[in-house]
Structure 1
Amino acid sequence: MKLIGSIAAASLLIAPVLSVQPYLFAFGDSLSDNGNTAIQDNNIPYWNNRMSNGPVWNEYAAYFNRLKLVNYAHQGGVTDNDLIASATGIKVGVPSLKDQISRFSATFKNITTPEILAKSIASITIGSNDLKAIATLGSSKIVRGVSAADAAIKSMIRSIDTLHSLGFRNIIFSNFPQPVDVPAASIDSDAAVLLASIATSLSSKLIVEKVNALNFGYKDKFKKLTVIDLHKTTAVFKDSGVMSTTDIQNTKNGCYNVDENENLVSKCDNPENYFFFDSAHPTAIVHAVVGAIVSESLMSSNGYDVSPEIVKNLVSKYKLHNVYSGSGPNLNQTFISVLKEKEYNMAEAESNYQKIIQDITS
């Protein structure tokens, strides 16, 4: 199959729905990065500096809702670089969530107002790299690890609070993933996985509670809080009906796998049949489904709702069967041209901030 291989197969391109929000501002890690981080990997054919074989979920969500996209997310991003360095000794070399929002604020705060940003949406996916770093502490430092995880949660909450203070009233954010759902986590030591699992259990539960408590304290509350449940999303793709609808045949292994020295040890023939493109990151069809679920949640009061029936219905409604069509790696150039017109990575946003503000205010 090829990814959206011809204009004739591109009924995906006529699926978007009307929305009043002009922009989606994305922050976070590799699940959201649309090319801010240059990927140097000769073993895995990542698409255009995305950690996948096609566009990521926020690109689909923006398209389906007729939003333009500004993307500050970075592969490898954590909640706070200083926090992770202090807790684990690991120095992260890309902007953290805290850094990304600070940089966004430095560019846009003086030329916009809370009333303007209230018309737009902010999204966050974060936590995987925090837990990966915390897991290196091992089982002998569980108390320290749980404390670090709690600090990461608090840092994320502060970032959401900052977005509120800037004017955003519509926020999409993910909970922390379960390591047992990710092939890369399953090859770590038992102690590391145990620690990460404990931290994740705390994270997934506490994030939603803390965000709701934060919102309760606002006079001008968030109008919409959408939680991307990564664990439930991964689980639903194991349903036989969903696997058949999406043509995914493997939900346990990555299509491409490398060893600890980044040497390729295995690869599949058809990545479109896999949930994971590498040992940690979803394939394009998974991103497209998440984008469709988010699109639906933005238009309803049900929030991020995922079940086998919902996924099967959305594949039909948004014509996601056309994400892959035919054979070969070619992308539909009509769709790609739309992306180029409708989205900015961080560098592009900072070069075009005046146009972006004009779009929001016009």
Structure 2
Amino acid sequence: MKSSEEHRKYLIVFGDSFSSVGNRGEQPKFLANWYTRFSNGPVWPEYLAHDGGFALIDFAVGGAVTNNKFIESQTGIKSQLADVLGQVSLYKSIFRGKFSPSSLQDDVVVIEIGTNDIFPVYERVFGGSVDLINYSNETVKSTISALESLIKFGYKNFVVTDTPNLSNMPVFGKLDQKALDSLDDYVRMTNKKLEIARAALETKYSSEVNYIRTVSFYDIYKTIPTMDLKKLLDTTAICDPNMPLGENAIYSKRSDSDSYFCVDGAHPSTRVHALLSSVFLETLRTGNVHISKEVIEKLVNDNEIRKVGSEDNRLYNENSLKTGNLNVEEYTIETTQLHVGKLVGRKDSHALHFKWHSASGQFHPHFEH
């Protein structure tokens, strides 16, 4: 927890390095660029929590996939990191039976996952031995399973992201056009399936949820590179053309990191994260946002995105550059477990129709006389 202000609306985030604020402990220095964030400053959940008036509970883990067991069965690569199913399972085990139903009405759950089902295992997935249709189906199935379990937990407001346009990422820049086209075909196929499944899930639970919306990372990542980056974001390029890429590359802090869309081979700068957050915030306010050049330009201007940077940032306090602490009330997996009582008690002190029963360890309906 970093901010002295306490909020009763929670933003709960599950995902990978695009969303993580530090859940891997000893992270590799070449990825943990800014106090355990995979960027050069705050990341989108922190901007969204700050601007939307939420306390942030972030269970996202850098390197996470949708389903460890399935990915291992297809690629032979075993991960010790919590996949999105594991993140959700852990969250539910921590809070099961502790929140009254009425206290969850204004909370928002975001699931951002899928990139690492491809990113670190690209050669094995596209090497010819993996059934890409089945692989895509399982990615979507695991994401929907995570969403459905959180609906049954009691949450009512959801946002899910699709997979970014990976073929635009610097890390894939050495692939030939045929390989890039195949990668893009796969991502678009998976995203289409996810959107169909999301809509079906929203229909299935229409009487139980307020919404299940989509933020299209794919459309954002596909559209921005076609725009004038200098005019739009005051950046000079997608990435530094001299930046080292590959497993052994070391990315050290640099003074010109705000000049690029990506701070490494895949991860966006904090300025881009602020833009991503503005899309999320608009999605919460008005519904799914159709991404276009005009929409992006408006969000950049309305939210003064060009003023956001790694050194000067509206989320910073006087100690942020020395500590990584922000003007955001936020919790990692570890700090969530340390503050369960406070997180539960704060919300349910205002839940008028439920009372805590210590014997059962749950809330039960309570009628005032």
Interval of TM-score (by shorter of Structure 1 and Structure 2)? 0.7 to 0.9
Q: Distance in 1 between matches of 2:11 and 2:231?
A: 31
Please give the alpha-carbon distance, in whole angstroms, between the structure 2 residues aligned to 1:331 and 1:223.
Answer: 30
Any conservation in 2 of the 1:69–1:344 contact (CA below 8 Å)? Answer: yes
* Higher mean C-alpha deviation, range 171-180 or range 268-277: 268-277
Contact 1:130/1:149 (8 A) holds in 2: no
**Residues 253 and 164 (structure 1 numbering): CA distance in 2 closer, same or farther, change over 3 Å?**
farther
Q: Are 2:287 and 1:270 aligned?
A: no
TM-score, normalised by the number of residues in structure 2: 0.82
**Cα pair 1:52 1:283 within 8 Å, conserved:** yes
Match of 1:184 among 158, 171, 195: 171
Q: 2: distance between equivalents of 1:277 and 1:254?
A: 11
Following superposition, the deviation at residue 133 of structure 1 comes to 5.0
Amino acid corresponding to residue 135 of structure 2 in structure 1: A
Which residue in 2 is equivalent to 1:311? Answer: 296
Post-superposition offset of 1:98: 0.1
Q: State the identity as a percent.
A: 25
Cα-Cα RMSD = 3.0
> What does residue 109 of structure 2 align with?
122
Partner SS, residue 244 of structure 2: strand
Aligned to 1:287: 273
Q: 1:200 aligns to what?
A: 187
Distance in 2, Cα, partners of 1:238 & 1:109: 43
How far apart, CA to CA, are the structure 1 residues paired with 2:253 and 2:170? 14
Post-superposition CA distance 1:176-201 (Å, at most 9, x none): 12221211123357786565434312
Kept in 1: contact 2:229–2:237 (CA 8 A): no
Gap regions ≥5 residues in structure 2: 1-6, 351-369
Which residue type is aligned with residue 209 of structure 1? I
Query: Do residues 223 (structure 1) and 207 (structure 2) align?
Result: no
Equivalence for 1:3:
none
Query: Between Structure 1 and Structure 2, how many residues are aligned?
Result: 340
Q: Which has the larger radius of gyration?
A: 2
> Contact (CA 8 Å) 2:215, 2:283: kept in 1 or not?
no
Instruction: Output the amino acid matched with 1:220.
Output: S
1:261–1:169: structure 2 CA closer, same or farther, 3 Å change rule? Answer: same
Q: 1:333 aligns with which of 311, 317, 329?
A: 317
Q: Do structure 1's residue 64 and structure 2's residue 51 form an aligned pair?
A: yes
What's the counterpart of residue 320 of structure 1?
A: 305
**CA–CA distance in 1 between the matches of 2:247 and 2:302?**
41
Contact 2:165 2:187 in 1 (8 A): yes
| Equivalent pair of 1:182/1:279 in contact (CA under 8 Å) | yes
Distance 1:77 1:56 in 2: 17
- Report the alpha carbon displacement of residue 246 of structure 1 after superposing the two structures with TM: 1.4
| Aligned equivalent of 1:85 | 72
Say whether residues 1:23 and 2:10 are aligned partners: yes
**1:212 Cα deviation (Å)?**
0.7
CA distance in 1, matches of 2:165, 2:156: 28
Higher alpha-carbon deviation: 110-119 or 75-84: 110-119
Give the secondary-structure state (helix, strand or coil) at the position aligned to 1:137.
Answer: helix
Shift of 1:95: 0.4
| More moved, 125-134 vs 331-340 | 331-340
Match of 1:248 among 220, 235, 252: 235
User: Structure 1, unaligned stretches of length 5 or more?
Assistant: 1-19
Task: Give the match's secondary structure for 1:310.
Answer: helix
Tell me the distance in 2 between the aligned counterparts of 1:341 and 1:44: 22
Q: Tell me whether 231-240 or 131-140 shows the greater mean CA deviation.
A: 131-140
